[in-house]
Amino acid sequence: MTQTTADTSLLLGRTAPASAGDRAIKRQRVLDILDAKGQESLLLTSNTALTWYLDGSRVHISLAGDPIAAVLVDRGGDHLVTFNNEAGRIAAEELPDGVTLHSVPWYGNLHQAAAAVGIAGSAAPAAEADVAAELRAARQQLLPAETARYARLNADVAGIMTDVLSTARPETTEFELVAALAARVVAAGAEPLVLLCNGSSRSDFRHPLATHSPLGRRAMAVVCARRDGMVANITRWVRFDAGTPQERDAEARIAAVEADIFDATVPGARLDRIFTEIQAAYTRHGFGADQWEQHHQGGPAGYAGRDPRVTSAATDTVVPNQAFTWNPSGPGVKIEDTVQLTESGVQVLTVDPRWPSTTVNGLERPATLQL
């Protein structure tokens, strides 16, 4: 195994986005986990943990594949191990200051190699699975530099939705719409993790992968886009007529469900108790008591689409500066934005002032774009 030092002369197209201040806090959070567990080192192997700890480094090649890097955090420092065919790019474009880079042959065992680079004679490192809840808690409260990066990403994605959906027509196909969204997301330096669309003929489906069907009289589009490790989530609706009274009523009621969820999302609240409130909100606003069972309801956001999805088993406690994406839905309706819990309450991040909105419980929420 070889050790490499970053050559700043190779920084041609990208600079590692990491903030020294944020990274120092993250390292201390991990060291605190080691202290609490009586461990000397921790091996980070998942995309979520790696991109959080490295503060935005890209550690993937295939969006469907495993990360091409692993990081050992020990008392002596941070060690990133990657394959030899990735090391040059990692060194030039993704390696934060203060992280030592090691490489192994492309056919080597990445995790075994990473576990072996720590202080000689130390015990085997803790695995992510051993401290999953603690790492998730460490990711909850977004730090200043990553908060700024996240806000820019979410605003960019919201603007992309406005630009693309404003040009849609009833004859536009679902594939054409998501292709346009994908092109704009990639042009913004992000990766489209989820692209969904349903025209009026497929509005019953809550996770509608696109088809060649035309949009027809109304359509939903969903984008989950990742940049510098962070994921923005957004849903928007467009229609080409005035909509039916039933549709407009359901849109108002699902926004009321979301407003109740926002009211329950306060520092100190437990996710399982928010989940109970979500279930009650559906009934309170005229949806069937089983509607929460038809689609997941969202949860904390940031370095994963949901971190975690909220269920009755999720007992994490909400903290200030945490990000969320709640996505209540009913038959033919859904509402979804990425937000952050600030000192003044919920702040919507996926916002574009050009998109039509309506005030719900004092907060501007997206309306259906009528063309």
pLDDT tens digits, one per residue of 118-158: 765 678 999 999 999 999 999 999 999 999 999 999 999 99
Q: In this predicted structure, what is the pLDDT of residue 58?
A: 97
- Quote the number of domains for the chain: 2
Q: What is the mean pLDDT of residues 20-28?
A: 98
> Which has the closest alpha carbon to 335: 259, 255, 265, 275?
255
> What confidence tier does 37 reach under pLDDT thresholds 50, 70, 90?
very high
Q: In this predicted structure, what is the pLDDT of residue 246?
A: 97
Residue 88 lies in domain: 2-139
Q: What is the mean pLDDT of residues 294-321?
A: 98
Q: Given 139, 161, 195, which residue is the final one in a domain?
A: 139
Q: What is the mean pLDDT of residues 292-314?
A: 98
- Angle, alpha carbons 364-370-371 (nearest 5°): 140
- Angle, alpha carbons 319-322-325 (nearest 5°): 125
Q: Looking at this protein, which amino acid is placed at residue 186?
A: V
Q: Are residues 332 and 212 in the same domain?
A: yes
Q: Given 110, 139, 168, which residue is the final one in a domain?
A: 139
Give CA–CA dist 343/300, Å, rounded.
Answer: 17
If you ran DSSP here, which 8-state letter would residue 322 be given? -
pLDDT tens by residue, 201-233: 999 999 999 999 999 999 999 999 999 999 999
CATH number for the domain spanning 106: value is 3.40.350.10
If you ran DSSP here, which 8-state letter would residue 351 be given? -
Q: Are residues 7 and 105 in the same domain?
A: yes
Q: Given 139, 167, 202, which residue is the final one in a domain?
A: 139
CATH number for the domain spanning 236: value is 3.90.230.10
Q: Are residues 12 and 118 in the same domain?
A: yes
> Which has the closest alpha carbon to 20: 126, 93, 99, 86?
99
Give CA–CA dist 261/17, Å, rounded.
Answer: 33
